[in-house]
């Protein structure tokens, strides 16, 4: 695998990861916004099952926001892990590595390849 292939694979991985983080965060935030406006109606109607559902899923959404990058990285590995070039990179990268610049990641990938 050439350095250019490595760099393009890293860019694809980073772009997919960033998109998953953004779209996942927006989706969960939108759901929480809907919860905010429907909560008083559920109180008035006495819908305890729906209130419990909202409460539990709100706590889960909080955990989702805490571990958002790790969850998005796991989904990225599932989506892009079939390609042999990306699979090798994903096996050696961590979610923290994706915050680095592309060239730094390419150097890390070259080091992984040489060991």
Any idea where the domains of the chain sit in the sequence?
Answer: 3-114
Q: Is the dihedral of CA 21, 22, 23, 26 positive or negative?
A: positive
Please write down the HEC assignment for all residues of 15-66: HHHHHHHHHHHHHHHHHHHHHHHHHHHHHHHCCHHHHHHHHHHHHHHHHHHH
pLDDT tens digits, one per residue of 39-57:
999 888 888 999 999 999 9
- pLDDT value at residue 1: 62
Query: Which pTM was predicted?
Result: 0.80
Mean pLDDT across 9-36: 94
């Amino acid at each position: 695998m050439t350095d250019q292939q490595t760099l393009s694979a890293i860019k694809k991985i980073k772009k997919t990861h960033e998109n998953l983080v953004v779209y996942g965060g927006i989706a969960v935030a939108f759901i929480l916004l809907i919860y905010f406006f429907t909560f008083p109606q559920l109180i008035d109607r006495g819908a305890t099952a729906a209130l419990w559902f909202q409460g539990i899923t709100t706590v889960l959404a909080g955990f989702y926001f805490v571990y958002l990058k790790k969850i998005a990285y796991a989904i990225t590995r599932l989506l892009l892990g079939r390609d042999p070039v990306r699979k090798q990179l994903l096996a050696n990268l961590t979610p923290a590595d994706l915050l680095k610049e592309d060239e730094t990641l390419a150097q890390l990938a070259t080091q992984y390849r040489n060991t």
